Amino acid sequence: MNFRNLPTPALLVDLDALESNLSRMAAFFRSKPAKLRPHFKNHKVLPLVRKQLEAGAIGMTCATVREAAILVEHNVPSILLANEIMERDKLACLAQWSRRVDIMLAVDSEAGITAAASVAREQGVAPNVVVDVNIGMNRCGVSPGASTVRLVKAAVAAGLRFRGLMGYDGHLQAQAPSPKRDELVRRGSQSLIDSKVLIEKEGIPVEIVSTGGTGTYNVSGDYPGITEIQAGSYLLMDTLYVNRDSPFQPSLSILTTVISKPARDRFVIDCGVKALSSERGLSTVKGIDGLELKALHAEHGLVEAHASQNGLDPGDNIELWVNYSDATVNLHSRMYGVSDGEVKTVFTIEH
Amino acid sequence: MNFRNLPTPALLVDLDALESNLSRMAAFFRSKPAKLRPHFKNHKVLPLVRKQLEAGAIGMTCATVREAAILVEHNVPSILLANEIMERDKLACLAQWSRRVDIMLAVDSEAGITAAASVAREQGVAPNVVVDVNIGMNRCGVSPGASTVRLVKAAVAAGLRFRGLMGYDGHLQAQAPSPKRDELVRRGSQSLIDSKVLIEKEGIPVEIVSTGGTGTYNVSGDYPGITEIQAGSYLLMDTLYVNRDSPFQPSLSILTTVISKPARDRFVIDCGVKALSSERGLSTVKGIDGLELKALHAEHGLVEAHASQNGLDPGDNIELWVNYSDATVNLHSRMYGVSDGEVKTVFTIEH
């Protein structure tokens, strides 16, 4: 089936770009001590998890207990829930799953340790934890150094199975590489390593040191002592993260239909914020010069045309790049895999 | 069940505010010639459709063929698809459904009429159409007056069943009422009426003149000749549309859990743009003074606290108002109906 016959708005992935992204990332890690643990939250597609594991990933990262449940159900061997969880029912699920798979949870507070330990006693099984360290993003995470050591000791004392450290440098992911940015990435990695040394001095082994993302994988993935990288966006590669130095190509787009042409230079397409996130900025048009997306309403997109493109008419298609894949994939239940203009596969997006 | 025991992030609707909004809107239309045809796209909940119909709504408005399918399947007697549709397969569905229910489609172009007429010939049944008129929003819609008359005649000549006119003044919905705004609303309504007069001079009856929304229902709903209003947001009433003169109360909120407290004055909650839209601005905190939502990431919300509120800890709940209900409801599969702090009902959101 030609992809232009899909009902619109349709979420498309270019399979050739996807395979290229997959193998470029895998090639980088083949020769490194650090390994890749891709983030499931970005694509939420199980066949893409399989591809990532087959290409050398050591397991998956995820952001929610629901995502962890999907990965557990599909026997992903090792799962890092790179987020803090405080709800008892969710902690109980995680504890039970840890009997079947290697699953780890982030903690960054005494309250988090107390909650996990209390559930562990009830469930008769202690969860695996990594301590989340703030390496500059100022979101979650305990301060590196003495505060981290204190929290690790509290986790061990509470009977949790301490596995290592994570620190996400999300504030650096969308910056173009530069000596200054790379230095900040290395400084973040070093603060994790420094904390690891302090913890090991206390006789507590640190198996995992996880950091990085699609924008910084090659800097922190090459940093001595970092054991894994939690990059997610590289496969679908939204235009938000693309920069001139990125080896990854955007592979995700939205097919839309022109439903109205209220003036020679204006089109309305059947795609608004319910199908395409503009939370991090508006998308650009793919494959046609002279068209500009001006606004997204709930179900409509407003496109302006330069003179050369006003020959488009209602019923014609316009394809848009996805600017923010995380929030856009989340709006769909299917992703159509396209190659040579044909729909080759339909991926189910798990919710 | 106390609503604070729900897994978070959870979409809540205050049933008392909802009932108040329902009956206030119904009371307005009880004594008017114009009737209410609420927009399904806002809540996508069938039990709320039932409530709206029982309170006097003459049918439902919707924005997509998928929404129309849900309404048809559940025997809503009259449906206005207030949007242009160009795809043949979707037009074929609409044509077939028109054998069972009163369903109308918006058209605003010769291309739209040609597509609908061609499908009508194939399917052996002509769809009902309303002509979409631009009354100032500059999105879809043909110009009022001569252009509208021309398009109506083309629709009739093509064998479509012309039912009337619609014009959506979306640009005026979020403005606070003022003499100037109300004058613009009336001018839009009048341009629909002027077009109706011109069409009827051609011997073509105009049964329906549809306009308005939650922000303008009382102005255009009171305008002579307007037959129906397509307000949607009044039931859930996002904070985006609330203003000092609105008789409707916000009823929609998100329950979140604090998962991290990286500093005395900063919290991280388990709710980001995958659960709460910030496409039209950030939400405000419900019920606790001194807390401010500063940013939403994919799965995290960053909250700042004034000194008086830094006693909150990981595991505590923070409730946020929904600023943009359309795009937020779209992110959820369930809406929990709450009254007196208890979950009284669980609404399924149709997708």
Q: Does B142 reach chain A within 8 Å, measured CB to CB?
A: yes
Q: What percent of chain B has pLDDT over 90?
A: 93
3-state helix, strand and coil shares in percent for chain A, rounded to the nearest 5: 35, 25, 40
Q: Which residues of chain B make contact with A8, given a CB cutoff of 8 A?
A: 87
Contact B331 A331 (CB under 8 A): yes
Question: Is A1 an interface residue toward B (CB < 8 Å)?
Answer: no
A40, A56, A160: which is closest to A110 by C-alpha?
A160
Rounded distance, CA A156 to CA B273, Å? 34
pLDDT band at B309 (very low <50, low <70, confident <90, very high): low
Instruction: Work out how many CB contacts closer than 8 A connect A with B.
Output: 144
B278 and A277: CB-CB below 8 Å?
A: no
The C-alpha of B271 sits at a distance from chain A's nearest C-alpha, in angstroms, of 11
What is the pLDDT averaged over residues B86-109? 97
Please provide the average confidence, as pLDDT, over all residues in chain B. Answer: 96
Q: Answer whether B314 sits within 8 Å of A86, measured CB to CB.
A: yes
Q: Which pLDDT belongs to residue A19?
A: 98
Per-residue pLDDT, averaged over B228-246, amounts to: 90
The number of angstroms, rounded, from the C-alpha of A158 to the middle of its chain's C-alpha atoms is 31
**Residue B241: its pLDDT value, please?**
82
Is it the case that residue B223 has pLDDT exceeding 80?
Answer: yes
**Residue carrying structure tokens 């979306």:** B170
Exposure string (b/e) for B147-183, b if CB count within 10 Å is 16 or more? bbbebbebbbebebebbbbbbbbbebbbbebeeebbe
SS3 assignment, position A112: helix
B residues 164-193 near A, CB within 8 Å? 170
Residue A32 token pair: 């490194």
Which tens digit of pLDDT belongs to each residue from B319-330? Answer: 999 999 999 999
B9-27 mean pLDDT: 98
Q: Which of A224-228, B241-245, B290-294 has the lowest mean pLDDT?
A: B241-245
Low-confidence ranges of chain A (pLDDT < 50): none
Q: pLDDT band at residue B86, thresholds of 50, 70 and 90?
A: very high
| B327–A109 C-beta distance less than 8 A | no
Check B261 against A85: CB less than 8 A apart: no
A319 - beta bridge partners? A255, A286
What residue has token string 């198996």?
A207
Confidence of residue B240 (pLDDT cuts 50, 70, 90): confident
pLDDT of the residue at A336: 98
- Nearest residue, CB atoms, A302 vs list B134, B139, B258: B139
Cβ neighbours of residue B260 closer than 8 Å, sequence gap 6 or more:
A84, A108, A109, A112, A132, A139, A140, A141, B267, B268, B314
Distance, CA of A268 to CA of A345 (rounded, Å): 29
Asked whether the predicted pLDDT for residue B332 surpasses 80, the reply is yes
The interface residues of chain B toward chain A in range 193-252, judged by CB-CB distance below 8 A, are: none
Q: What is the pLDDT of residue A244?
A: 72
- Measured between CA atoms, how close is B278 to chain A, in angstroms? 7
Q: Which residue of B has its CA nearest to A257?
A: B86
Question: Amino acid letter at A341?
Answer: G
Q: Is the dihedral of CA B321, B327, B329, B332 positive or negative?
A: negative
The answer to whether residue B346 scores a pLDDT higher than 70 is yes
Q: Read off the pLDDT of residues A145-164 as tens digits, 9 standing for 90 and up.
A: 999 999 999 999 999 999 99
pLDDT at B243 over 80: no
pLDDT at res. A309:
66
Predicted local distance difference test score (pLDDT) of residue A306? 86
Q: Measured between beta carbons, which residues in chain B are less than 8 angstroms from residue A270?
A: 83, 86
Nearest C-alpha in B relative to A304: B139
B310, with CB counted inside 10 A (0-12, 13-18, 19+), is middle
SS percent in chain B: helix, strand, coil, step 5: 35, 25, 40
